[in-house]
Structure 1
Amino acid sequence: MKKNIKCYMCDSDAVSSEHVPPKCLFPESKDVEGENYRKHLITVPSCEIHNSAKSKDDEFLMISLAGIIGNNSIGYLHKFTKVNRAIRRTANRLLDKAFTSRKHYYLKRDNGFLEVIWGTPDHERLISCFEHIAYGLHYYHLGKCFKGKVNVLLGYLHSEDEGNNTFVQYIKDRAAIDLKDIPEYGENRDIFYYQFSDPDDNGIYMVHMRFYGGIDIYASFLPEDKPKPFDLGIELMNAGIETVFVLDGKEYRVKKANKSEEKNESENL
């Protein structure tokens, strides 16, 4: 690592390189019939502190994402090979870290049974993982460490609060419009690609990340020199008042649940 290169997350000197997203999310050749999905991966310079913090989360993120229902075939294959080996190696301790609560179901198939895990993921840890990836992509794509506020939206989780599900769908539909003509970046797009939007009138911009063809993550960037914009609809929604958002003639009726009522769930195979 060259001297005077700064970390992608802070102003400390970098001591190593980090893969963004983690290399373990990309299958090894031995598991995918010789395909090399670990070529041309993104790396960014990292300080010792952020290097250590991120490496502890890499395997957690792999366990949390690879088996989600709705993934493409590569995601499933990764789950049944490398991910299952990691789970067996730790005697299910990785599952305990990935879910705050979970239930196991077994679906009958022609050649046996398929195990399905339905549970509540460690939401805060997932947010932290994707914040780090967002910072890394910002450094790599825009050539500088981001200074400001990052907000992450997990677009793939299902919630028991239907108002939250409606709002997430609104954000996804709105992002699809904003990103319609934006290029997709990434050498292994069946596993991961990203898009950066242009800044809006308030100076806010966004990165959209897609994993395994079906997991959508959105992270917005509000630079530190920009004031937080006021949005009446968001303020009403956060106050628990039913709010109607309109996009291309479609209405999204949202009433945010109390914090004690919120519960995010995801499916894993």
Structure 2
Amino acid sequence: MENKFCYKCDKVATSREHVPPICLFPEAKDVMGLNFRKDLITVPSCDEHNSKKSHDDEFLMLSIAGIVGNNLVGYLQSQTKVDRAIRRKCKDFLNKEVIKNYTHQTLKSKSGRKYPVLYGNPNYDRLVSCFEHIAYGIYFHEFGERFNGIVKMLLGFISYNDKNTQTMTEMVKEKFRVDEISKGIKGENPAIFKYQFFEPDQFGLIGMVMTFYEGTEAFVAFQPKNSKEPFDLSLSLLNAGIPTFIEVGGKTFEFNKK
């Protein structure tokens, strides 16, 4: 029997929502006729968590399709659909809504090829909110029930100003790579989106990595409502501001540098 309630709240579902949003998957006309809109994931949704967030879906597409490190499909999406969307907006839309105080810079690849990029401050809170919606949807799709608890997230493509947060992101990436027990990579269109759940740890936390365009990663921790509050001596020292070294996968990560 199909679930009658929303994937993110206890309201009655009135439609089905694509997770991730369908706009992230390029149209065939923009990617040399390739079909990336097959077997997309949908979950039951109320109006608030579907149709009323269409502007957030577009914001996410504009924010991540052209990130340096993405694959060719992401680049094509940024040069076609993203470009068309931006041209429809007001002159200072990018600076107000997507990436503030940006400057035009040029990156050079190992082969010597130059790439024009924008460098600035992303709308971080809105990005996290968008990824959180996707995380809730993927959890529902994976386990057949709404997640009840706290979701914590780090974005692997962000350069955090806080050194501890940046180091934590690098450590979490390494931890997922070498320490966690994977349930396997899933996603019918992995060039656009794939995800990987990990077995619960000793505290009941469930880890997940979401990857977009093969280069944009979001690291998620699901903490169920009735799980134990995680305690780790190293992290306690870290939070107390004490210089701390944590080793993961043969690499040492230093926090609270003096």
1:127 and 1:187 mapped to 2: Cα distance? 24
Q: Which residue of 2 aligns with 1:15?
A: 14
**What's the offset of the Cα at 1:104?**
2.3
Q: Deviations over 1:18-75 (max 9, x none)?
A: 1100111111000011101011111111111222443221000001100101111111
TM-score (normalised: structure 1): 0.87
Going from structure 1 to structure 2, the CA distance change for 1:35 and 1:4 (only over 3 Å counts) comes to closer
Q: Tell me which of the two structures has the higher relative contact order, counting C-alpha pairs closer than 8 angstroms and 6 or more residues apart.
A: 1
1:4 and 1:210 mapped to 2: Cα distance? 27
Structure 2, unpaired ranges of 5+: 109-113
Say which SS state the counterpart of residue 156 (structure 1) adopts.
coil
Amino acid in the other structure paired with 1:91: C
After TM superposition, the structure 1 stretch with the greater mean CA deviation from structure 2, 157-166 or 206-215, is 157-166
After TM superposition, the structure 1 stretch with the greater mean CA deviation from structure 2, 240-249 or 22-31, is 240-249
Say which SS state the counterpart of residue 4 (structure 2) adopts.
coil
1:93 and 1:43 mapped to 2: Cα distance? 34
Amino acid in the other structure paired with 1:184: I
**What's the offset of the Cα at 1:85?**
0.6
Q: Deviations over 1:152-197 (max 9, x none)?
A: 1111111344443222111100011245653111111011100111
Amino acid in the other structure paired with 1:100: K
Q: Which residue of 1 aligns with 2:250?
A: 249
- Percent of paired sites with the same residue: 47
1:215 and 1:106 mapped to 2: Cα distance? 20
Amino acid in the other structure paired with 1:207: M
Contact preservation (8 Å) 2:99, 2:121: yes
Q: Deviations over 1:206-261 (max 9, x none)?
A: 1110011111111111111112122232232233332111113321101289xxxx
1:230 and 1:10 mapped to 2: Cα distance? 29
Alignment pair present for 1:50 and 2:56: no
Q: Which residue of 2 aligns with 1:267?
A: none
Amino acid in the other structure paired with 1:30: K
1:228 and 1:136 mapped to 2: Cα distance? 24
2:66 and 2:91 mapped to 1: Cα distance? 15
Q: Which residue of 2 aligns with 1:100?
A: 100
Amino acid in the other structure paired with 2:172: I
Say which SS state the counterpart of residue 247 (structure 2) adopts.
strand
Contact preservation (8 Å) 1:3, 1:13: no
1:123-134 aligned within 5 A: 123-134=124-135
Q: Which residue of 2 aligns with 1:263?
A: none
Contact preservation (8 Å) 1:154, 1:217: yes
- What is the alpha-carbon root mean square deviation over aligned residues? 2.3
After TM superposition, the structure 1 stretch with the greater mean CA deviation from structure 2, 85-94 or 12-21, is 85-94
2:257 and 2:18 mapped to 1: Cα distance? 36
Q: How many residues align?
A: 253
Say which SS state the counterpart of residue 48 (structure 1) adopts.
coil
Amino acid in the other structure paired with 1:195: Q
Contact preservation (8 Å) 1:237, 1:256: no
1:1-269 aligned within 5 A: 5-92=4-91, 94-95=93-94, 96-105=96-105, 115-179=116-180, 181-255=182-256
Contact preservation (8 Å) 2:105, 2:118: yes
2:246 and 2:151 mapped to 1: Cα distance? 23
**What's the offset of the Cα at 1:124?**
0.7
Contact preservation (8 Å) 1:8, 1:46: yes
Q: Deviations over 1:89-135 (max 9, x none)?
A: 11345412112331223679xxxx95421011011111111111110
After TM superposition, the structure 1 stretch with the greater mean CA deviation from structure 2, 203-212 or 229-238, is 229-238
After TM superposition, the structure 1 stretch with the greater mean CA deviation from structure 2, 87-96 or 244-253, is 87-96
Going from structure 1 to structure 2, the CA distance change for 1:122 and 1:150 (only over 3 Å counts) comes to same
